[in-house]
Amino acid sequence: MGKSDFLTPKAIANRIKSKGLQKLRWYCQMCQKQCRDENGFKCHCMSESHQRQLLLASENPQQFMDYFSEEFRNDFLELLRRRFGTKRVHNNIVYNEYISHREHIHMNATQWETLTDFTKWLGREGLCKVDETPKGWYVQYIDRDPEAIRRQLELEKKRKQDLDDDEKTAKFIEEQVRRGLEGKEQEAPTFTELSRENDEEKVTFNLSKGACSSSGATSSKSSTLGPSALKTIGSSASVKRKESAQSSAQSKEKKKKKSALDEIMEIEEEKKRTARTDYWLQPEIIVKIITKKLGEKYHKKKGIVKEVIDKYTAVVKMIDSGDKLKLDQTHLETVIPAPGKEILVLNGGYRGNEGTLESINEKTFSATIVIETGPLKGRRVEGIQYEDFSKLA
């Protein structure tokens, strides 16, 4: 076995030493070569390749410094984005993780002399949020990815919409309470005490003009007619009073407005009915594989969802072969059973309710179902889209 053989103890020791980080003062950034001791670094500096690199760098030193600075900045920010995201973290933690990589760009080859100068530069350029504390400098990555910005705007829009809905509901409840209180104040009768200063003083009542005329007319009629006529007039008047009372009660029932609770329940039910989500997978439903990436063996085959992972992924057990596959919901579609079979609603206001398929409308790609579980049991629902329900296993 020769001295320079791959399995000699010296060769193995050299490989072990070269794996880890070496001293920075024995590293040549221009040649990107790490020497293990002072003698090796001296020999490298005297080599022809090193001298040639120095000649190239002396022609345009700023270009090389800009190149190393850009590489250092890109690698540092990529590590900060991938490892820590938008969390606030100490800059020394990120730097220590960055220099643990053996082929990293050293800071002494860049335009920044210290890590603090580099951190301040990141803050001035708007690449990161930086702040100084007694423990040192902290950095926070600013994600300017268009997709991330779009997601953030959608979240802000949804949060604002939820707040607007809550404010509208609160204002609606306050308005209903105010109207209810005003109605009670109007309906409350006011009573006054009948009093007179002298016993000889007469008590008078101010009646409306119509009442006076009607009383005068009845008194004149009663004075001219006999007792039998008075009986007929009294009975007819009582019948009219009953009819007027019944008609007024019916009109009040028709004009009676819904209570605040009923209106709020209707609004919430309508909101649930129109609410939809971008995920629909549920356990124990039958689905069909529509992707061709798995081959003809599984294409257009049916399986049962055994487990749902992270809302969008499912573990499907094939009905024919019994194989278990982990699939995304984009590779699956719902299964429409025959009328009379049990189904599960997967999306919309009736999500999670079991039911029975009553009929199918092929023109509108929808179906009519009857809810079998929950507080809405027995309700008949029309216009449920094909992708909103599936056959139960």
CATH code linked to domain 336-392: 2.30.30.30
Record: fold of 280-335: SH3 type barrels. (2.30.30)
Q: Are 53 and 31 in contact (CB under 8 A)?
A: yes
Distance CA 370, CA 350 (A): 11
* pLDDT mean across residues, the chain: 78
Q: Which of 320, 323, 285, 331 is nearest to 304 (CA)?
A: 285
| CA torsion angle 221 227 228 232 (round to 10) | 50
Helix (H) or strand (E) holding 298: none
Indicate the DSSP class of residue 248: H
Q: Is the pLDDT confidence value at 378 over 60?
A: yes
Record: fold of 21-141: Arc Repressor Mutant, subunit A (1.10.10)
Look at residue 226 in the predicted model and tell me its pLDDT.
Answer: 47
Q: Is the pLDDT confidence value at 246 over 90?
A: no
Count Cβ atoms within 10 A of the Cβ of residue 228 and give its class: 0-12 exposed, 13-18 middle, 19 or more buried: exposed
Number of residues assigned to the chain: 393
**Span 16-42, average pLDDT:** 71
Look at residue 297 in the predicted model and tell me its pLDDT.
Answer: 86
* Of the listed ranges 146-150, 234-238, 272-276, 324-328, the one predicted with least confidence: 234-238
* Domain 280-335 matches domain 336-392 at the CATH topology level: yes
Question: What Rg, from alpha-carbon coordinates, does the chain have?
Answer: 43
Look at residue 283 in the predicted model and tell me its pLDDT.
Answer: 92
Domain ranges of the chain: 21-141, 280-335, 336-392
- For 163, the 3-state DSSP assignment is helix
* Phi, psi of 88, rounded to the nearest 5 degrees: -85, 125
Q: Is the pLDDT confidence value at 17 over 60?
A: yes
Give the side-chain half-sphere CA count within 13 A for 100. 7
Q: Is the pTM of this model over 0.85?
A: no
Nearest-5° Cα angle at 98, 96 to 101:
110
**Span 215-223, average pLDDT:** 43
Look at residue 321 in the predicted model and tell me its pLDDT.
Answer: 87
Percent of the chain at pLDDT > 90 equals 17
Q: What is the pLDDT of residues 337-371, one digit of tens each?
A: 999 999 999 988 788 889 999 999 888 889 999 99
Distance CA 227, CA 230 (A): 5
Distance CA 52, CA 167 (A): 73
CA dist 156 to 87, 117, 162, 279, Å? 19, 35, 10, 21
> pLDDT-derived band of residue 227, with 50, 70 and 90 as boundaries?
very low
Q: Are 315 and 307 in contact (CB under 8 A)?
A: yes
Distance CA 320, CA 14 (A): 58
Q: Is the pLDDT confidence value at 215 over 50?
A: no
Lookup: tokens for 316: 């499907």
Look at residue 220 in the predicted model and tell me its pLDDT.
Answer: 43
Residue predicted with more confidence, 244 or 270: 270
Q: Which of 156, 59, 77, 157 is nearest to 119 (CA)?
A: 77
Q: Are 343 and 391 in contact (CB under 8 A)?
A: yes
Look at residue 271 in the predicted model and tell me its pLDDT.
Answer: 61
Percent of the chain at pLDDT > 70 equals 73
Distance CA 327, CA 293 (A): 11
Distance CA 106, CA 98 (A): 10
> Please, what is the angle between helix 48-59 and helix 61-79, to 10°?
100
Q: Is the pLDDT confidence value at 218 over 50?
A: no
Distance CA 107, CA 121 (A): 14
Sheet of 366-371: strand order equals 380-385, 366-371, 354-361, 342-345, 389-391
Look at residue 333 in the predicted model and tell me its pLDDT.
Answer: 92
Lookup: tokens for 326: 């982990």
**Span 123-134, average pLDDT:** 89
Task: Give residue 93's identity as a one-letter amino acid code.
Answer: I
Lookup: tokens for 332: 């699956």
Look at residue 230 in the predicted model and tell me its pLDDT.
Answer: 45
Indicate the DSSP class of residue 202: P
Look at residue 247 in the predicted model and tell me its pLDDT.
Answer: 59
Q: Which of 309, 258, 253 is nearest to 281 (CA)?
A: 309
Q: Are 303 and 316 in contact (CB under 8 A)?
A: yes
Look at residue 269 in the predicted model and tell me its pLDDT.
Answer: 67
